Structure 1
């Protein structure tokens, strides 16, 4: 490969990083200027990178990250299991959808963080409190998206399942779930994002564990470099989790023969 070809090959890889690099450079300049004028509320990205390295070396970074990701994953699992199951039932049965419609529309708009006081009374601080709130937050998007996906399944497939005399369980696992896999992954990607956001929010507001709590401690300790390090790390973790979900979606699509 010639030098010209190598440069052309690198351009698509480097292009997405141009704007973030420009923003970081501008913020570095602005923060250094603010610090030089006596501000203690900002820190340049270079200082945040040093604080990040310190947190990684002393182990606090990995401990807090593990707690947040663990509770977010368990909460998403609970929300997804119940959301998918109920979404399939409501999507297949018009009568069930009519019976449950009012309750769903009343409960769905309730902000998940509004359950923090109730969860604290029931479970105290720790994993169970955060787990309950994340499960509640992820349940509703999973339910709504799965119900919509099931309602769009080809009617002839459902008619065929009735002609074959399939049970409700076989109909769900052999007909409905394979048919909604692409839309199911859209719901799961949304659920992953919601789970991480809600987990960090709960830790900032009430739970003395995880990445959100670590960021709040840095803020209360007047350590803006460490606070920005945690903020940036949360963004990196979210990006990595989403990228992992995309790779899993493509892998499943290839296995099912539906990849573009």
Structure 2
């Protein structure tokens, strides 16, 4: 039993280890042929340790995560609130359908010039773009989840004379907890991706900017270290959201 459990735990890591080993061999071979465009993962690991020791890793990571979290919070509050309203009111959904379908496909990075004009460089510009990017998927998913709430629950709330606010907090939100966390997990991924993209394109702060500086400094090892670290941070954030989802679902007596 212990060996089977160990094998199940190790199995997902087989492909990443093989991939890293293959990239190590290829990068070393390319370096032997005179190419300095790639760095082996071993060199990236050394660069990562250096960035961790001098503090630049934690400073940039904190900035990106903080901005992504604030943008996600703003986008989630607005998206969930409006999604509940549109899900409960067919008339409101019809009135907002054209505006939503016109604005939703707009790429968030296309707003960078406009956000720079309105907010300049820095936190507010990145915050606005992250909030815009996370608002739409949360709005659409929450609206769909609310529309699929058991109609008898809503009928009971009307019979009990619950207000719209009480209906939303006591009936609708508990009923959509599993789907709400799916939407939030998607929002977390979008927030991190957009935050890093904005930092690469326009904001001189955070992990994306640090990776661009490494590229412009012709330091492929450090650039690869940042790229790998961004992936690790995304993996950790998603794992944390899964743990939170299970904890909240257990507390509310809902199957996750």
Q: Same fold, TM exceeding 0.5?
A: yes
For the superposition of Structure 1 and Structure 2, which TM-score range results when normalised by the shorter chain?
Answer: over 0.9
State the Cα distance separating 1:237 from its structure 2 match.
Answer: 0.1
Deviation string for 1:223-256 (max 9, x for gaps)? 0000000000000000000000000001111112
From 31, 36, 39, the counterpart of 1:35? 31
The 5-angstrom pairing of residues 1-260 of structure 1 reads 5-259=1-255
For 2:156 and 2:253, locate their aligned partners in 1 and report how far apart those are by CA, in whole Å.
Answer: 22
Mapped contact 2:153–2:171 kept (Cα < 8 A): yes
State the Cα distance separating 1:13 from its structure 2 match.
Answer: 1.2
Q: TM-score, normalised by structure 2?
A: 0.99
State the Cα distance separating 1:258 from its structure 2 match.
Answer: 2.4
SS of residue matched to 1:110: coil
For 1:150 and 1:6, locate their aligned partners in 2 and report how far apart those are by CA, in whole Å.
Answer: 44
For 1:120 and 1:66, locate their aligned partners in 2 and report how far apart those are by CA, in whole Å.
Answer: 22
SS of residue matched to 2:242: helix
For 2:4 and 2:152, locate their aligned partners in 1 and report how far apart those are by CA, in whole Å.
Answer: 49
For 1:181 and 1:56, locate their aligned partners in 2 and report how far apart those are by CA, in whole Å.
Answer: 37
Mapped contact 2:82–2:139 kept (Cα < 8 A): yes
Deviation string for 1:207-231 (max 9, x for gaps)? 0000000000000000000000000
For 1:157 and 1:9, locate their aligned partners in 2 and report how far apart those are by CA, in whole Å.
Answer: 42
Structure 1 portions without partners, runs of 5+: none
Q: TM-score, normalised by structure 1?
A: 0.97
Deviation string for 1:40-69 (max 9, x for gaps)? 100000000000000000000000000000
State the Cα distance separating 1:107 from its structure 2 match.
Answer: 0.3
For 1:194 and 1:26, locate their aligned partners in 2 and report how far apart those are by CA, in whole Å.
Answer: 30
What is the root-mean-square deviation in Å for CA atoms of aligned residues?
A: 0.8
SS of residue matched to 2:105: coil
Mapped contact 2:59–2:206 kept (Cα < 8 A): yes
Q: Which runs of 4+ in 1 moved over 4 A?
A: none
Deviation string for 1:140-190 (max 9, x for gaps)? 000000000000001111111111111111011111101111100000000
Number of residue pairs matched? 256
